[in-house]
Amino acid sequence: MTLEAFGARLRRAMDERGPLCVGIDPHASLLADWGLNDDVAGLARFTRTVVEALGEHVAVFKPQAAFFERFGSRGLAVLETAVVEARERGALVVMDAKRGDIGSTMAAYAETFLREDSPLFSDALTVSPYLGYGSLKPAVELARESGAGLFVLALTSNPEGAEVQRAVREDGRTVAATMLGHLAEENAGEGPLGSFGAVVGATLGDLSSFDLAINGPLLAPGIGAQGATPADLPTVFGKSVRNVVPSVSRGVLRHGPDTASLRAVAERFTDEVRTALG
């Protein structure tokens, strides 16, 4: 049975639980801070603690696949369990894997994360469009079929991103603006929110020169450890701020392993975002 469209499920989750995404990024240094070994057992303990502490409270989790993949098949097993348990607790899962390729390879990536019977099926997937937006077609099609969503890298917070994303095409538009335009087309006529979003860094300052009104969600990493605050969101996102999904990772995770502390900090960030958005 195909799920309700991701955009509709995301809008409801953010309205009910608050507009916050918590990253699950088990860095080796963070495991050490928690008193855990940098091994599969430490990875499993860390991930289980985060999901159990926050799974019934936050709207979205964003596990970073690379930190699980580095442990091979045993790490992926931990990730599979985390995805299932997070979704069972009512949180949506955005798999941060940033996949991008062409043809059958892109289709295989899509099937890994967006096919409903896959062990790693997630509510949405981050993807890279820099082999051309059209290369994402297999993922777009499967996401529509399964009720999942995509977050396309558009205006990322890393300084190196600008040399590609802000490059100007022959038609006078930047590459980032072109990607945003494609997403607006994907989401046309969808409500209450389209399922095809953009990744736009919360650290980028005034983005009024870009049209962020794509009728889809704007995943905004950079809150907390990277320097952005919830109060910055209206300046960065302007009239599109209600569709922002602010993402916090280390700003929450460094308060573990105590579950009450994790929950309290996540609630504080959620309250601060709500205040900032009015």
Q: How many CB atoms lie within 10 A of CB 125?
A: 28
Q: 17 lies in a domain?
A: yes
pLDDT digits (tens, 9 = 90+) for 42-90: 999 999 999 999 999 999 999 999 999 999 999 999 999 999 999 999 9
**Higher pLDDT, residue 152 or 277:** 152
Task: Indicate which residue of 62, 98, 137, 239 is catalytic.
Answer: 98
Q: Which pair of structure tokens corresponds to residue 187?
A: 């989401």
What's the pLDDT tens digit per position in 209-260? 999 999 999 999 988 777 889 999 999 999 999 999 999 999 999 999 999 9
Amino acid at site 140: V
Establish if 130 belongs to a structural domain.
yes
pLDDT at 1 over 70: no
| Angle at CA of residue 147, ends 88 and 98, nearest 5° | 85
158 compared with 278, residue with greater pLDDT = 158
Predicted local confidence at residue 227, as pLDDT? 82
Give the domain extent around 74.
Answer: 6-277
Catalytic site includes residue 98:
yes
Is the predicted pLDDT of residue 8 greater than 70, yes or no?
Answer: yes
Residue 223 located in a structural domain: yes
Q: What angle do CA 193, 238, 126 make, to 5 degrees?
A: 50
Burial class from Cβ neighbours inside 10 Å (0-12, 13-18, 19+) for residue 189 reads exposed
* Residue 247, strand partner residues: 21, 221
For residue 226, the model assigns a pLDDT of 77
130 backbone dihedrals φ, ψ, rounded to 5° = -90, 20
Report the CATH number at residue 233.
3.20.20.70
Q: From the centroid of its chain, how far is CA 30? A: 20
Q: What share of the chain in percent tops pLDDT 70? A: 99
| CA–CA distance, 175 with 180 (Å, rounded to integer) | 9
Domains of the chain: total: 1
Question: Are the CB atoms for 53 and 261 separated by under 8 Å?
Answer: no
| Nearest by Cα to 67 from 103, 37, 40 | 40
Rounded distance, CA 186 to CA 183, Å? 5
- Long-range CB pairs of 160-168 (<8 Å, 24+ gap) are 164/130
- Answer yes or no: is 1 within a domain: no
* pLDDT at residue number 77: 98
C-alpha closest to that of 24 among 264, 250, 276: 250
Q: Does residue 28 sit within a domain?
A: yes
DSSP string of 45-63, one letter each residue: HHHHHHHHHHTTT-SEEEE
In a domain, residue 137? The reply is yes
46 located within any domain: yes
In a domain, 134, yes or no: yes
pLDDT tens per residue across span 134-179: 999 999 999 999 999 999 999 999 999 999 999 999 999 999 999 9
pLDDT over 90 (residue 267): yes
Q: Give which of 14, 38, 192, 183 is closest to 94, Cα–Cα.
A: 14
Averaged pLDDT for residues 118-126 = 98
| Global pTM exceeds 0.95 | yes
**Could you tell me the CA-to-CA distances from 93 to 26, 122, 171, 235, 253 in Å, in that order?**
16, 5, 37, 27, 17
* DSSP-based three-state secondary structure for 131: coil
pLDDT at position 213 = 98
CA distance 203 to 201: 5
* pLDDT at residue 34, as a whole number: 98
Kindly report the length of the chain.
Answer: 278
Cα-based distances in Å from 265 to 91, 206, 208, 262: 17, 27, 31, 5
Q: Name the residue among 116, 46, 128, 126 with its Cα closest to residue 87.
A: 116
